[in-house]
Amino acid sequence: MEKHIAYYESPIGWLQIIGTDESIERIDVVEQRGGRNIPTSFMPWIEELEQYFQKKRTSFSIPLKLIGTPFQVRVWEALQTIPYGQTVSYAHIAKEIGRPKAVRAVGNAVGSNPFTIVIPCHRVVRTDGGIGGYAWGIERKKWLLEHETR
């Protein structure tokens, strides 16, 4: 199956979308746009991202191909259950997946989430209420959290 790469300019920067006509394999924030056009098959998924940024969408139906260890996949699936505009702690996710002592491992899996925004890792914060880390920068995480609660 042919892989496509597309770029979408979002309020948090350029998003690079990698996938096939059937599913997305990665969405990353990148510093600059590449030279490729958006494949027709990606257009409904781009529209969902636009709706999210326009506050017209709170969840996604984009088909994702989760490529990771079984533990990572469990964490990423748990992240998808966090309601729009809400946050949970890394410890909460660890309990949700039945591994309450694996908080650090959960943090690592959250940090390696290959689907920025669509799998809402930005909604995970520290137990003490601190914002925690974010692979694409704390300012972007703050922006996304504020976007969902304004």
Cα–Cα distance, 61 to 56 (Å, whole number): 14
- Residue 81, by phi and psi: left (phi above 0), alpha (psi -120 to 50) or beta? alpha
The one catalytic residue in 27, 46, 82, 121 is 121
**Pairing status of strand 4-10 against strand 88-89:** unpaired
Q: Are 90 and 22 in contact (CB under 8 A)?
A: no
- Copy the structure tokens of residue 90: 């890394």
Is residue 25 part of the annotated active site? The answer reads no
Catalytic residue list: 121
